[in-house]
Structure 1
Amino acid sequence: MKYAVIGAGWAGCSAAVELAKRGHQVHLFEAARTLGGRARQVHLHGIDCDNGQHILLGAYEATLNLLNTLGVDPDAALLRLPLQMYYPDQSGGMQFIAPKLPAPFHLIAALLRAKGLQREDKMSLARFSSAARWMDWQLYTDCSVAELLERFDQTERLIQLMWQPLCIAALNTPIERASAQVFLAVLKDSLGARRKASDMLIARTDLSHLLPQPAADYIQVRGGQVHVGCAVQSVTPIDQQWQLDFNPNIQQEAMRFDGVVIATNAEAASTLLMQLNLADHIPAFDYEPITTCYLKYQAGTRLPRPFLALLENQAEHRWGQFVFDRGQFDGSNGGLQDGLFAVVISTSGLATESGHAELALQCAKQLAHDFNNPQLATPEWSQVITEKRATFACTPALARPSNQLPLAGLALAGDYTESPYPATLETAVKSGQAAARLFG
């Protein structure tokens, strides 16, 4: 069979690989010149980076299995760190690191050894964990994460240092509006599972070369084709097949396929489905931005750890929530990322109001203060990248569309489709695979 996949983000790439693995001829179409969608390679001052810093989890079984299928060794391609919420020593935060013990003893030991938490905070965390397990991480009625934390009498300090940063990192939605059920689903498959499931995984290479490019190679070796810079304008049923028409500015003739997976973002998918009177299949989402501020210092500049949490304080323009020392996990740039830090700001709408240049200065000052190093206030260069629609706002009881569309031979894929999880790379991969399997 001959199938088309529209969109070469992580959902589209996983759908295309699944179809190719089943022996079908696959054409993968991407409107941009770079594969990866909202998790892709960018070039900054001669360095291959990403449009945003991502963390994977050990619980990402579909993604890790897909990497193995593509011939990518996860142990070599990803830096594996234990679950941690570790703030700079003098920032007033906490230091929580899970040791290499079987679950749940790794969390018990981390809690007992945690610095920066009072006994009341530790008891609060233990109470939440035990209650969530007893509930099997399920709620009868969804509510906000803030309401859930209030129900379990979580301390203000624990919310500030643990729950709020975890929720924003996982759901990209403030705790006052974030879905408690989705948050619990994330915690179940990380904190509530085996120890390795809670590990944090950071790509040693840029994200396009981690999965999308190996996926493209896999498809082409099996007789498929990958078309970049090729925007699909319409999908039309003709003679029990589907015809794809392209932007008239592209030298590409219409093509027909036995089936099509639409793996674009929700807005582009709605535009294609509108022509088929199916636009109502995708609800209108609200979106949240994510900003990554890259700060480059002279070679040899190091942070105490590859990854640290930062104490956010919006009133003081301290916007950074996490910082990554990319020089400590650089696996493909020949040391070019030595001294390159990535400061991540989820739900970054307020942070970007003063402009990217001002935000870079504020992030540099935050690092200089937190690490007691005045030199960090003056990087050699900075670059701020904002994905304005990085993820949908993951609110309580949010309706999300299914992979199955009412018309035969047509499927939908994306991190916004029906799932118990938020918009993550793992959700995108699972959605792509589920869409491809609808074709048998």
Structure 2
Amino acid sequence: MADAVAVIGAGWAGCSAAVELARAGCKVTLFEAARTLGGRARAVEVQGRQLDNGQHILLGAYKESLRLMRAVGIDLRAAMLHLPLQMRYPKGSGGMDFVAPRLPAPLHLALALLRADGLAWADKLSLARFSSTARWMDWRLHNDCSVSELLERYGQTERLIELMWRPLCLAALNTPPERASAQVFLAVLRDSLGAARASSDMLLPRLDLSALFPLAAAALIESKGGTVRSGAKVAALAPDQGRWRLGDADTFDAVVIATAPPAAASLLEQAGAPGLAASLGHFEYEPITTCYLQYPPATRLALPFYALRDNAASGHWGQFVFDRGQLDATQGGLFSVVISASGAASELGREALAQAVAEQLAQVLGRPELARPDWVQVISEKRATFACTPGLARPANATGLAGLALAGDYTASDYPATIESAVRSGVAAARLLTAIGRKRK
């Protein structure tokens, strides 16, 4: 296997690749252009506060993410709040209350559906038929289509689409249902509604996203004799007598490119893969906005998080609200509100959007005081994910060049742009290089 390996980019894909390579005995150098590790799922410091650049939910089905967290020493029980699969709206907001009990699958889903409040029998039968049909189809389509087309094809009710399918699609794919890939959506449902009970659990991080994995990954890499270089942008990559040269001096036996597509395309062009570089130019992107609202420390929600009914015409932009104080005792009174595919919401401007979100919470929760937060911060990731559209071509980890692999949540996968798809891609890239190294020896 390769002795010296460079990993360019310390997002979750790059950190995962670096950890796997270090554990396999490679001497790893991890490069990150930013000062903070984690890429698009990281901690940021804002006015002396440590916040995440976006609120995340993981699933129990994220096997590779959980495996690598354990490998770098993260205590999963302490690091995340484990909740059963649920879609719960505030009482009196016109939503529903759907909670899967802790029973073996598929009994947990059947009982959750039977007990669900806010759904008519027609809605429940519609969901049961869809779930049964999707299982029979093994969660696969012969030809991809939009999520909206899929839901119409299988007779899903308008209320079920509004309260269940649309928010799930936005949360998982960060793409509106009318443009989102039905096949990728089915893969997400397979590992949530269609999964074993533990796999369908929803995991809410108690640690900030950098501490949840990237920082521990860096510590493991260094403990194995590797190096982590933050604030070190790699702008040049070229073959050099059977090795790879980064910049003017450093050479490595192998390289993992784990940057976003535009930066990856530039490096691939220099490396001698112009066709692959050009193929990365077709991605479109969707933003995600997280609005943080600070109230007096004793302010709490009845649950750790709620789904919200978003309606642009009513000025209701929030889709989920999280009580951060129930996840981290040092963040009492801090709520985070997530807006996926947030392009239209962002046009309001930060101050207007924060006020609209605060007023939405006050109205739907029946608590007028929430319209007046003590402090607000709006964080938008303009290119949070690629738009997960039907039939989207995604590149493989292999580049066609010896000793050079690609990693990122945008590489070929049945998952959308999630933490798990990034981790899986990083692991696949690392294993590709270590397999090649073993063959050489």
Give the TM-score category using the shorter length. over 0.9
Q: Which residue of 1 aligns with 2:303?
A: 305
- Mapping of residues 25-424 of structure 1, within 5 Å: 25-245=27-247, 254-281=249-276, 282-283=279-280, 284-330=282-328, 335-424=329-418
The AA in structure 1 aligned to 2:188 is V
Q: What is the TM-score of this pair, normalised by structure 1?
A: 0.96
The AA in structure 2 aligned to 1:365 is E
Q: Which residue of 2 aligns with 1:250?
A: none
**Are the equivalent residues in 2 in contact too, given 1:53–1:292 (CA < 8 A)?**
yes
Structure 1 stretch displaced more, 175-184 or 271-280: 271-280
The AA in structure 2 aligned to 1:316 is S
The AA in structure 1 aligned to 2:306 is L
Per-residue CA deviations over 1:151-196 (Å, capped at 9, x if unaligned) read 1100000000000000010000000010000000111122212101
Paired residue secondary structure (2:77): helix
Per-residue CA deviations over 1:122-173 (Å, capped at 9, x if unaligned) read 1100110001011111101000000000011000000000000000100000
Paired residue secondary structure (2:344): coil
Q: 1:273 offset after TM fit, Å?
A: 1.1
Q: 1:43 offset after TM fit, Å?
A: 1.6
Per-residue CA deviations over 1:69-117 (Å, capped at 9, x if unaligned) read 1111111111101111000001110000111111011111111110111
Structure 2 Cα separation of the partners of residues 301 and 92 of structure 1: 23
Structure 2 Cα separation of the partners of residues 359 and 19 of structure 1: 43
Structure 2 Cα separation of the partners of residues 256 and 166 of structure 1: 45
Q: Which residue of 2 aligns with 1:249?
A: none
Structure 1 Cα separation of the partners of residues 355 and 189 of structure 2: 34
Structure 1 Cα separation of the partners of residues 227 and 335 of structure 2: 36
Structure 1 Cα separation of the partners of residues 274 and 44 of structure 2: 32
The AA in structure 2 aligned to 1:157 is R
Once superposed, what is the RMSD of the aligned Cα atoms? 0.8
Percent sequence identity over matched residues? 64
Q: Which residue of 2 aligns with 1:248?
A: none
**Are the equivalent residues in 2 in contact too, given 1:47–1:337 (CA < 8 A)?**
no
Q: Which residue of 1 aligns with 2:438?
A: none
Q: 1:275 offset after TM fit, Å?
A: 1.7
The AA in structure 1 aligned to 2:96 is M
Q: What is the TM-score of this pair, normalised by structure 2?
A: 0.96
Aligned length, in residue pairs: 429
Structure 1 Cα separation of the partners of residues 203 and 49 of structure 2: 21
Structure with greater helix percent: 2
The AA in structure 1 aligned to 2:327 is F
Structure 1 stretch displaced more, 397-406 or 274-283: 274-283
Paired residue secondary structure (1:272): helix
Paired residue secondary structure (2:337): strand
Paired residue secondary structure (1:291): strand
Q: 1:223 offset after TM fit, Å?
A: 0.2
Structure 2 residues not aligned, in runs of 5+: 435-441
The AA in structure 2 aligned to 1:269 is A
Structure 2 Cα separation of the partners of residues 318 and 296 of structure 1: 19
Runs (4+) off by over 4 Å: none
The AA in structure 2 aligned to 1:381 is W
The AA in structure 1 aligned to 2:396 is S
The AA in structure 1 aligned to 2:371 is A
Structure 1 residues not aligned, in runs of 5+: 246-252
Structure 2 Cα separation of the partners of residues 338 and 45 of structure 1: 17
Q: 1:277 offset after TM fit, Å?
A: 4.0
Structure 2 Cα separation of the partners of residues 94 and 193 of structure 1: 22
